[in-house]
Structure 1
Amino acid sequence: MYKHVFLTGTPGIGKTTLIKKTLEALTSLGFSFDGFYTEEIRDGGRRVGFDIVTLSGKRGILARISSSFPSEKHEFRVGQYVVDINSFEQLALPALNHIASENHKTVCVIDEIGKMELFSQSFVYVVQKALDSAGALVFGTIPIAKGKPLHFIEEIRNRRDVKVFNITKENRDVILQDIVAAIQDCNK
């Protein structure tokens, strides 16, 4: 039996949208949440970065295109993006503080566990702790497997207690009830 639910799929397919719709549906069923989601930042139709948004409404920078940081040396990069680890950790880690709670009605939302987020070893530790906790129900997103696999993400994908939904253009508008049902099943 699984106790965590993850969504995977290509970038821009609608994983974060499904996270938000699932949270709306679960709220009416009495669930509470802690955690965060990521949001694309666009300027004139062009993606220039990502923000982290906690479920309590706090917002900070996750990453911006490197031209936004012209004179500084940055250790953490994914493609054209510079990752702001300090901003990420200041928001993500406190938002995930309650993950080991024995209250099975609290869902820990982690959107996303990807290359940018994995630069933070503190984040990896907290996610691992949540996945191994008897009381945590993690609902999150992971990138689709392509190229060289990321070890931690593959560990999550292959856990016996994780249900993974592959989101596609064909199913993204009809899969919501299956996701809600899976999370309800985790809570039994």
Structure 2
Amino acid sequence: MNHLLTGPPRCGKTTALERTVECLRADGVAVGGVLTRERRRDGDRVGFVCRDLDSGEEGWLASVDREDGPRVGKYRVDRETIRDVVVPAVEAGRSADVLVVDEIAAMQCHSAAFVAAVENALAHETPLLASVATGSEGVPGAVTRREDVTVEWVREATRDAIPGRLCRSVSTRL
């Protein structure tokens, strides 16, 4: 079974995934994939950096300082980072016990290779833990409507309990 976390920006989806990764690794579970963290300057969010959970390689997914690339809100997406960091992390993560993808959203979906990697991951037997943008449009909406996923809304009142619950749920199925 694949588990998706959704909710508005800054609700704690990435933090819940990070804590789940820590819990799984503490239990000896091999976790691969990618996490994405915001970057701030003088208190303002200026972009997002993604990190391969296996190699530790990082790259700017999107930034207010980029002058080229597709625009999503105030950010410009770096398709090369998606190609060179995100997609290889997702593809390699399928050989782990659990694959984490943070996040399936508009920025990442500007890459056809990313969309294909997510579709391949969903078709693979490796359990997927992912954060996904809210809404029913495009790839994020299609992913949440799949029969082989459970979708959980992350809220302030519930976000601290999610990592332990996900860790137990995934560990018992391995």
TM-score by length of 1: 0.86
Choose 1 or 2 for highest CA Rg.
Answer: 1
Aligned to 1:39: 37
> Which of 124, 127, 131 pairs up with 1:137?
127
- After TM superposition, the structure 1 = structure 2 runs for residues 8-157 of structure 1, keeping only pairs within 5 Å, are 8-55=6-53, 56-65=55-64, 68-69=65-66, 72=67, 74-101=68-95, 106-133=97-124, 135-145=125-135, 149-157=136-144
- Gaps of at least 5 residues in structure 1 are none
CA shift at 1:154, angstroms? Answer: 1.5
**Could you give the per-residue CA deviations for residues 156-188 of structure 1, whole angstroms, max 9, x where no partner exists?**
11111101111001111223222222323443x
Paired residue total: 173
**Could you give the per-residue CA deviations for residues 123-147 of structure 1, whole angstroms, max 9, x where no partner exists?**
10011011012x22111100122xx
What amino acid is the match of 2:72? Answer: V
RMSD of aligned residue pairs (Cα, Å):
1.6
Say which structure is richer in helix. Answer: 2
Aligned to 1:181: 168
Whole-Å Cα distance in 2 between the matches of residues 32 and 61 of structure 1? Answer: 25
Whole-Å Cα distance in 2 between the matches of residues 59 and 98 of structure 1? Answer: 15
